[in-house]
Chain A
Amino acid sequence: MKIVDSNKIRSDVAKLITECLITPDRAVTNALRRIDTDSELEAAAAALIVENNDIAERERAYCCQDTGQAVFFVKLGDGVQCVGLRDALDDAVRQAYAAARKSVADPLTRLNTRDNTPAVIETELVSGDTLEITYLAKGAGSENMSKLYMLTPADGVDGIVRSVVDAVERGGRNACPPLVVGVGIGGVTETACTLSKRALLRPVGVLNERADVAQLEKLLLAKINALGIGVAALGGRVTALAVNIEVAPTHIGMLPVAVNLQCHSLRHGTVKY
C-alpha cells in the first residue's frame, strides 16, 4: 500500500489552483495569436484576449474574474492510501481562493459559502498505486450554456450532430468564445455529463483515438465554425478551437448526448503522486 501525505496534496493543489487561475491553457492563447480571420472586429477581439492573457501572466492577475467553482477529477489507484484527501482538497480551495472570487452559493437562499467550498470532486477508481488530481476552474458563463440531450438510437449520428450544433447555436454567444466544446456520448445521464466535462481536458488539437469519433469531431468543428459566432461573439469564423468527444457504451434503448461548453479561459492542471 502506497501512502500519500494529504498535507502535501493540500499545499501542492493550492499552488496549482493559483497558477491555473492566472495562466489559461497556452494552446488557446497561441491559437488566438495566430488567428486567421477576415473580420477586423474578430481580429481585434482576439488581440484583446491575447493582451489580457499577457497582462495576467506579467502582473500575476487572474485572467478571468470568474475564478469558478473548483472541479477535481481524482484518479485514485486501489493501492493508494491517502487519509484526509477530501478535506485536503477543500482546504486547498479555501487557501487558494482567499485571494480569488468566492463564487459558490446555496442554490435556494443564494447565500455565499464565502470560501468557494465545497469543491466538486469526481473520483475514478483505477488499478495501481498512483494518485492523480486534475483541477478545472468552471465559470458560470460557459457552464450555464451546457446541455443534455436524451436521444433515441433512431436519432443516430445525425441526431448527435444536430444536438451539438444546437447547443452551440443557442448558448455559444454567452459562453465566451472561442470555445472548446466537450461532448459526452453514451452511458447514463451522468456518464454523458461527466464525459463531456472530462473531454475538455484533452489537449486542443488532439483527436479521439477512435477513427469514427475523430471524424465526427472534425465534422462538428467545421459545422460550429460555420455558425459565424466568432471570437467574443462579435461575428467571425473562430467560434470553437476544438470539439472533443468521449464515448461510453450505453443502454440498447438510449443515446444520451451531453454538451459542455468551455470558454477560452480554459484553466486546468494536474498533480501526480
Chain B
Amino acid sequence: MDNSVKLYLPTDAAHIQTLKPNTVVQIYGTLYTARDQAHKRIAQALKNGESLPFDLHTAAIYYCGPTPAPRGKAIGSCGPTTSGRMDAYTPLLIEHGLRVMIGKGVRNAQTVESIRSHGAVYLTAIGGAAALYQSRVTACELIAYPDLGCEAVCKLTVENFPAVVSVV
C-alpha cells in the first residue's frame, strides 16, 4: 500500500469525484467518531433543528467505538464498526451535508443511492485492524455525548490511515 493515493481531510465534492472505487487511500486529517447511539442523537437533533457537536459539511465520520486510551497513548484500539447499522440515519446526515464516511461492510441500496446522488464517498477500513489504526491516530479529543462511554463523539487526527474507496 506504499504507492497509494493520499486523501487529506476535510476535502470537497470536486476532489471526492476524483476518487476511484477499489483503490487504497491513506487518510490524513480530521475524523469524528460516531456509531449507533451518537447517530440516533444526531438524527434527532437534525429533526429538532438543534445544533450539532460538529459541522456535518466539513466532517468525515468514522464509525468507531474505541477501547479506553492506555497511559501515554492518544486513543485505545480503534478499528471500524459495521457501517450498515448506521444506514437508518445516513441519508438524513448526507442531506444535511455529510460527505465522507469510513467504516466496514456494506451499505444498503438507499444509502448507496444517497451517497452517489450527493457526491459523497464511503470508504472501507479494515475490520479488526484496531491496533494498527490506533498507531495512526495522533490526537483524540472528546467533543460530545460523554455519557455514551465508548459511543461518545471524539475528534481524531489521523495520518497514514489506510482505507479503500468503496462507494463514490
Contact partner of A173 (CB less than 8 A), chosen from B65, B106, B130, is: B106
Quick check: A174 and B24 within 8 Å, CB to CB? no
Provide the bound-state CA to CA distance between A173 and B66, in Å.
21
Closest B residue to A101 by CB, please name it.
B67
Quick check: B65 and A233 within 8 Å, CB to CB? no
Mark contacts of B97-125 with chain A using CB atoms, 8 A cut-off: 1 yes-contact digit, 0 otherwise: 00000001110000000000000000010
Contact partner of A264 (CB less than 8 A), chosen from B128, B131, B132, B150, is: B128
Contacts of B60 in A (CB 8 A): none
Contacts of A247 in B (CB 8 A): none
Quick check: A55 and B128 within 8 Å, CB to CB? no
Closest B residue to A51 by CB, please name it.
B132
Interface size in chain A (residues, C-beta < 8 A): 41
The answer to whether the Cβ of A4 comes within 8 Å of any Cβ in the partner chain is no
Contacts of B164 in A (CB 8 A): 41, 45, 232, 234
A63 and B105 in contact, given A41-B22, A101-B67, A174-B84 (Cβ under 8 angstroms): no
Q: Which of A64-72, A157-165, A209-217 contacts B (4 or more CB under 8 A)?
A: A64-72
The answer to whether the Cβ of B78 comes within 8 Å of any Cβ in the partner chain is yes
Interface size in chain B (residues, C-beta < 8 A): 35
Quick check: A61 and B149 within 8 Å, CB to CB? no
Quick check: B77 and A62 within 8 Å, CB to CB? yes
The answer to whether the Cβ of A141 comes within 8 Å of any Cβ in the partner chain is yes
Quick check: A48 and B1 within 8 Å, CB to CB? yes
Quick check: B129 and A49 within 8 Å, CB to CB? yes
Provide the bound-state CA to CA distance between A56 and B70, in Å.
13
Contact partner of A63 (CB less than 8 A), chosen from B104, B128, B148, is: B128
Provide the bound-state CA to CA distance between A49 and B131, in Å.
9
The answer to whether the Cβ of B135 comes within 8 Å of any Cβ in the partner chain is yes
Provide the bound-state CA to CA distance between A53 and B124, in Å.
19
Contacts of A48 in B (CB 8 A): 1, 126, 129, 132, 162
Give the contacts of A130-163 with B (CB-CB under 8 A): 140-141, 144
Closest A residue to B130 by CB, please name it.
A65
The answer to whether the Cβ of B146 comes within 8 Å of any Cβ in the partner chain is no
Ordered by A's residue number, 24 sampled pairs between the chains whose C-beta atoms are within 8 Å are: A47-B1, A48-B1, A61-B76, A61-B130, A61-B131, A61-B134, A63-B77, A63-B130, A63-B131, A65-B79, A65-B130, A66-B130, A100-B67, A101-B67, A103-B65, A110-B37, A112-B148, A174-B84, A175-B105, A176-B128, A232-B126, A233-B104, A233-B106, A263-B128
| Additional pairs, 14, CB under 8 Å, beyond known A47-B1, A48-B132, A264-B128 | A48-B129, A52-B79, A52-B132, A59-B135, A62-B67, A65-B76, A101-B66, A101-B76, A103-B65, A141-B81, A141-B105, A176-B127, A233-B124, A234-B22
